[in-house]
Amino acid sequence: MSGGRIGFGARPVVPEPTPDAWVRRGEASPAKAELYTARLTVDITPELRGRIKIAAFRRGVTMAVLLRELLETSFAGEERP
C-alpha cells in the first residue's frame, strides 16, 4: 500500500423540489387511478396467497394484475350494470 488517501468526489447537487414540480410529476400517470377506482378485499389462506404470488412472479406481473386478468376472464360474458 502506498499510504495515500483516496479522495471521494463531491456529492451531486440535487435541486430541492418545488411544489409545482411535485404537482406536475403527479399528473404523469393518471391512467391507473382512472381505470381502477374500487378496492376489493378477499380473505384467503396463506398457502393460496403464496401460490398466487408464485404464479404472478413466473408470469412477470404483479399479483394485482394477475387477479384482475383472472376476474376479467371469469366475468367476460357477464352484463355490466
pLDDT at 12 over 80: no
Q: 50, 58 in Cβ contact below 8 A?
A: no
**CA 61 – CA 69 distance, rounded (Å):** 11
| Domains within the chain, CATH numbers bracketed | 36-81 (1.10.1220)
Which pLDDT score is estimated for 23?
67
Q: 39, 29 in Cβ contact below 8 A?
A: no
Contacts of 67 by beta carbon, 8 Å cutoff, 6+ apart: 52
pTM above 0.75, yes or no: no
Which residue shows C-alpha cell 376476474? Answer: 71
**CA 65 – CA 33 distance, rounded (Å):** 14
Which pLDDT score is estimated for 11?
77
Which pLDDT score is estimated for 44?
97
The per-residue pLDDT for range 26-78, each reduced to its tens digit, is 555 556 666 777 889 999 999 999 999 999 999 999 999 999 999 999 988 87
pLDDT at 9 over 80: no
Contacts of 36 by beta carbon, 8 Å cutoff, 6+ apart: 68
